[in-house]
Amino acid sequence: MEFSFTPKEQAFRRELHDYLQSEVPEWFAGIFALPEGEHDKVWEFTTQFARKLAKKGLLIRSWPKEYGGQEATHMEQLILAEEMAYFDEPRGSHYLGANWVGPVIMAFGTEEQKRKHLPAIANAEVLWCQGFSEPNAGSDLASLKTQATVDGDEYIINGQKIWTSYADHAGWCLIGVRTDTAAPKHKGITYLLMDMKTPGITVHPIRSIFGLHFCEVFLDNVRVPTQNTLGERNRGWYVMMQSMEYERGGYIKYARCQRTLDEIVKYVKETSVKGKLLIDDPLIRNKLADMAIGIRAVRALTHHMYWMQSQRLTAGYHPSVVKMASSEFDQNFTNIAMQILGLYGRLSKDSKYTRLKGRIVREYIWSREGTVAGGTSEIQRNVIASGLGLPKE
């Protein structure tokens, strides 16, 4: 049993931390819940920064060298993920490719697919999105209806996806489609690699409290080569579930919470109200402790998850445990942070009198997403219950 990182891993963290500290500009606060007017500036930055990181081998650590990785350990990958989260994920949406699109292609792809797509992800040349949900297929994802009919060596796809993150920036899409309407719903799904420049694809960003993060994707007779199948035809559900496992198990929001906590601690140490420093208020101190404790509890679960992956142990329900606990803690955390700011908590970034550059209100809004996206908390609990061996109806 060992709870510290090796000297090499610690040195890697320090070096990475210092690099990000000096390179990530102060105005950058991530791509999530972006005010609409800031989209272009932020995306421009993350695009060029991700390429810069890729050149230094800091975009992706633990992939094989032949696919653009550094063959580093799982622990280095964990450290990378933590530090990136701490600095508000300056890789932009490249984290998606790094954390689960790439790994699922590595696990299920043909050699040709791996050689075509993995280096491009590792070099930050291509952004990916994930076509899962539909207007009538959210939690009941297996009931998805976007249809793919075979025409020679191509599929013709018709349908609609919704809540697709980053579809308006993505070059490629991992999309779940129905290839067998007669089979039971889980057994008629195929997972495809789809070029977003293919004629027939229309993307509309959805305006939401998270800015323009989510999109609708309309597919009108879109032709995708059958050789773009990831895994086997009609066995796509199982590939999608593996992808979900990577996504859920890799949730690293607690590191971002630590960044927020560091800023809040600095704030309460410097801010006085009616002659008293906020740090001396017992109620505030209690809240700070709650925040620190929760971060470490979630970190403990996540570290265990990464360790399991490094040992190639069967993940079981653990990714769902991580995702559920992390996202619910995040909501609790950001709410506590808002309480500390009191009336100032409502002020947005560019408002007069704003505190901490409006970070807290943005984190608070964004935290709503976590218990819904990537499988709702209710779905995660269903997965866990099944893993506990509880009886079915």
Subset of residues 46 to 75 that bind another protein, contact rule: CB under 8 A:
75
As measured in angstroms, the least distance from the Cβ of 291 to another protein is 9
Which residue of 232, 290, 342, 351 would you call a contact of another protein, by CB under 8 A? 290
Binding pattern for the stretch 256-275 against another protein, x by CB under 8 A and - elsewhere: --x---x--x----------
CA dihedral 315, 247, 186, 117 (to 10 degrees): -110
Alpha-carbon distance 119 to 85, whole Å?
A: 23
**Nearest one of 172, 185, 179 to 146, comparing CA atoms:** 179
Q: Give DSSP secondary structure letters for 323-363.
A: HHHHHHHHHHHHHHHHHHHGGGGG--TTSTT-SGGGHHHHH
In a 3-state reduction of DSSP, which class is residue 195?
Answer: strand
As measured in angstroms, the least distance from the Cβ of 194 to another protein is 34
Which residue of 288, 337, 361, 373 would you call a contact of another protein, by CB under 8 A? 288
> Would you count residue 137 as binding another protein (CB under 8 A)?
no
Which residue of 139, 181, 300, 339 would you call a contact of another protein, by CB under 8 A? 300
Which residue of 50, 59, 82, 120 would you call a contact of another protein, by CB under 8 A? 82
- Taking the least distance from each CB to another protein, the nearer of 186 and 303 is 303
**Nearest one of 129, 205, 110, 203 to 172, comparing CA atoms:** 129
From 61-69, 130-138, 163-171, 286-294, give the range in contact with another protein by CB under 8 A.
Answer: 286-294
End-to-end CA distance of the chain, in Å?
Answer: 40
From 189-197, 202-210, 255-263, 340-348, give the range in contact with another protein by CB under 8 A.
Answer: 255-263
> Would you count residue 22 as binding another protein (CB under 8 A)?
no
- Tell me the one-letter amino acid at 390: L
Q: Would you state the structure tokens that stand for residue 71, as one six-digit string?
A: 């063959």
Which residue of 21, 286, 339, 351 would you call a contact of another protein, by CB under 8 A? 286
Q: Is the dihedral of CA 99, 50, 191, 325 positive or negative?
A: positive
Spatial contact of 213 and 366, defined as CB atoms under 8 Å apart: no
In a 3-state reduction of DSSP, which class is residue 71?
Answer: coil
As measured in angstroms, the least distance from the Cβ of 27 to another protein is 23
As measured in angstroms, the least distance from the Cβ of 138 to another protein is 17
Which residue of 32, 100, 166, 306 would you call a contact of another protein, by CB under 8 A? 306
As measured in angstroms, the least distance from the Cβ of 257 to another protein is 10
Helices 74-86 and 253-270: crossing angle, nearest 10°? 40
- Taking the least distance from each CB to another protein, the nearer of 207 and 266 is 266
Q: Would you state the structure tokens that stand for residue 27, as one six-digit string?
A: 């105005």
From 27-35, 213-221, 300-308, 365-373, give the range in contact with another protein by CB under 8 A.
Answer: 300-308
Binding pattern for the stretch 167-196 against another protein, x by CB under 8 A and - elsewhere: ------------------------------
- Report the 10 Å Cβ neighbour count for 270: 10
According to DSSP H, which parts of 56-143 are helical?
A: 74-86, 94-96, 102-108, 111-122
Alpha-carbon distance 74 to 156, whole Å?
A: 39
As measured in angstroms, the least distance from the Cβ of 26 to another protein is 19
Residues near another protein (CB under 8 A), total? 52
In a 3-state reduction of DSSP, which class is residue 335?
Answer: helix
For 71, 190, 222, 282, 310, the CA distances from 155, given in Å and listed in that order, are 36, 11, 8, 63, 37
Which residue of 185, 187, 223, 303 would you call a contact of another protein, by CB under 8 A? 303
Catalytic residues: 247
Spatial contact of 46 and 98, defined as CB atoms under 8 Å apart: no
Which residue of 304, 339, 342, 350 would you call a contact of another protein, by CB under 8 A? 304
Alpha-carbon distance 301 to 253, whole Å?
A: 12
> Would you count residue 2 as binding another protein (CB under 8 A)?
yes
> Would you count residue 8 as binding another protein (CB under 8 A)?
no
> Would you count residue 7 as binding another protein (CB under 8 A)?
no
Alpha-carbon distance 192 to 108, whole Å?
A: 11
Overall size of the chain counted in residues: 393
> Would you count residue 336 as binding another protein (CB under 8 A)?
no
Q: By CB under 8 A, name the binding residues for another protein.
A: 1-5, 13, 75, 78, 82-83, 86, 255, 258, 262, 265, 285-286, 288-290, 292-293, 295-301, 303-304, 306-308, 310-311, 317, 321, 324-325, 378, 380-382, 384-385, 388-393
